[in-house]
Structure 1
Amino acid sequence: MAASVDVVEFQLGEEHYALDIQIAREIVEMMPITPLPRAPRYLAGIINLRGEITNIIDLRNLLGLPESDGMEGQKIVVLMPDAAGGSNIGIIVDDVHSVIQVREEDIERINEGITSSISSYVKGIIKIGCEGDEKAKTLIIWLDVQKVINDLGNYQNAP
């Protein structure tokens, strides 16, 4: 039996991304976010999620993607506290599609030499779609969201 991995497939703009299912605690509908003064640009603000203050990160801004046009249907993926260094953190995504099970052979690993600045945040490229028809396959960028969150301290101190 081939090894497989479960991921949450989500969307930012037109692109599809995935994160490990183990680090996602829950997915909630977008709600009003309270901005924090003098916060880094990637920190959208905070929300009160059932009595817990949760930091909300604008993943699009953090990854250097173009701003969204306030898309309808945005969601917040709340991460497991241990995946976020013990903090309550949620990330804004444009849409959540599904939880998918991906076979190892459908994952293309990223070579270190190609794009070294992002390769540390990308676990691989997931190819899903029509069997045998390579052109009909959808490509999903499998992010190491835990590493992105853990490196926020370095990001904040960058010029």
Structure 2
Amino acid sequence: MLDENNQQCPVARALEVLGDRWALMILRDAFDGPCRFSELQKNLGLAKNILAARLKLLVEAGLLAQQPASDGSAYKEYVLTEKGRSVFPIVIGLRQWGERYLFTSGESRSQLVDDRGQGLETLQVRARDGRVLGPEDCRRQLIRHS
């Protein structure tokens, strides 16, 4: 539950849904395509009760939806919704930060590539006119809606 100081902060609200490591790891796997509970558990090595709780949260938040398995079996699959797909740049930003600061030179790691096998450009925050912005170029502003 958000305290009074954070109720108007979009970052605090986003962390209520995405601030858990497992939530982001589940979404990371979902970006590769529909996932079954058993696949997620195997890939993540996560206890069933924790995985079930995180999946429930992501479904309730509208980031994932459950649908019948694509192979016609009795299983259910978790698929990204539009809201869930919109988390993609956040995961890419975390990935790129991790690649830059958390691996030593020559250390093995996975790499995300585009549909042509090319590495991705580093994400940048840009102004509407195309200028690259840093923290010193931005400020928070409260927008009141009635």
Shorter-normalised TM-score: what interval? under 0.3
Q: TM-score, normalised by structure 2?
A: 0.24
> Greater strand share, 1 or 2?
1
Which structure has the bigger radius of gyration? Answer: 2
> Greater helix share, 1 or 2?
2
Q: TM-score, normalised by structure 1?
A: 0.23
